[in-house]
Structure 1
Amino acid sequence: MAFLCDITSHLNVMNLQLQGRGRVVSDMYSTVRAFKTKLSLWETKMRKENLSHFQSCQTMKEKLSTAVFPSAQFADKLNILAADFRRRFADFEAQKSRFELLSNPFAVDVESAPPNLQMELIELQCNDTLKEKYERVGAAEFARFIPDTMPQLRIQAAQTLSMFGSTYLCEQLFSLMKLNKTSHRSRLTDEHLHSILRISSAQSLTPNIDELVQKMRHHQVSGSASDK
């Protein structure tokens, strides 16, 4: 029970890191990769009966004889869990190079990159202005600032950003749909619902108030002219 409490606590921490809006798949991959590395460390320490990362187990061991504490058995469980992680996240490993291109394109080895990206990568990595922009806005936002002269990198970034790393957004959409599509809102059409879901699924959406005001003024002027 002590071991289950400790490992569940570690899993909960990772789970919270994977949740929330604005999480891109490359960030999630980094979180999962870090947890797999932690599992390897924990297994090594557990085989040496070092419980520094398992507080409940440490407390239990202090109350019991060291001869009866099953450290080797728990190490085997950690090994099984690590193997399960490798199997379940094998698809992430296959996309490792793609994620690296998004998370830090300035550190990617050009020679190992796909041939269609190599020339654009050289131009990108030699551009100090873009590098400064990347350091200022971060990986996810930087994709918007890749110039049109680098179309292959733009396509690569767009494809990676469009990946759903978790079901968080899907679950949020279903909840929102259930909230809006009720018997008390019988005049809500499928078109209205589609618009609601499209707005709510946007990771970040800021209305251009000035542009909207200008359009409204244009419609009002056009309407007045036609009346005359």
Structure 2
Amino acid sequence: MSENEDIYDSFKEYESVLDSLIEEYNRRFNDFEKHNITLKLAFQPHLVNVSEAPEELQMELIEMSEDNNLKSLFDNREDPIEIWKKAVEDPRLREHACRLISCFSTTYCCESTFSCLTQIKNSLRTQLTDEHLDVQLKLRTTMLEPDIKMLSRKK
């Protein structure tokens, strides 16, 4: 085989890998286009065509289109959470954005809890009961700080 044939075979191999990746990507994210308006309302509301938005949000979008400062915050890709907290006076748009943005943080909580679970219940702790696992997870994932002095006084 010549060097050109080797290169051709390598390209064919990469092409098939890339084709399968594209196919997998399209399969997993094929419904994103259906949610385009929903996502834009949270992250780029100033770019949404008012007539395409849900009716209950249209008036707020019209009012927002007049606010150049707000548009520049979204254009500069500022943190959308901070924008919605401080800059937006539109309750329906804010509620829509908060519902959508909170999905990502709850996914993070779920993923981090699952990581804790895999650390707690490893191959050395196979006898751990569900009750004990539950308690261990609560201890590992809580944001509360125990008041050791108060607890020891009660003992």
Q: 1:126 offset after TM fit, Å? A: 0.7
Equivalent pairs: percent with the same residue? 30
Equivalent residue number for residue 193 of structure 1: 138
Scaled by the length of structure 2, the TM-score of the pair is 0.61
Equivalent residue number for residue 102 of structure 1: 42
Matched, 1:170 2:114: no
d(CA) in 2 for partners of 1:133, 1:88: 31
Structural mapping, 1:1-228, within 5 Å: 65-68=3-6, 69-70=8-9, 71-134=11-74, 135=76, 137-145=78-86, 146-147=88-89, 150-164=90-104, 168-176=108-116, 193=138, 197=141, 199=143
d(CA) in 2 for partners of 1:81, 1:119: 42
- How many residue pairs get matched? 128
Contact 1:177 1:197 in 2 (8 A): no
Contact 1:103 1:140 in 2 (8 A): no
Letter in 2 for 1:66: N
Contact 2:57 2:93 in 1 (8 A): yes
Q: 1:167 offset after TM fit, Å? A: 5.4
Gaps spanning 5+ residues in structure 2: where?
Answer: 129-133, 145-155
Higher relative contact order (CA 8 A, sep 6+): 1
Contact 1:117 1:152 in 2 (8 A): yes
d(CA) in 2 for partners of 1:178, 1:156: 34
Q: 1:170 offset after TM fit, Å? A: 2.0
1:132-154 superposed Cα distances (whole Å, 9 cap, x missing partner): 5544843232121321xx22201
d(CA) in 2 for partners of 1:102, 1:160: 7
SS in 2 for 1:199: coil
1:81-105 superposed Cα distances (whole Å, 9 cap, x missing partner): 2011111123433322211222211
Gaps spanning 5+ residues in structure 1: where?
Answer: 1-63, 184-188, 201-228
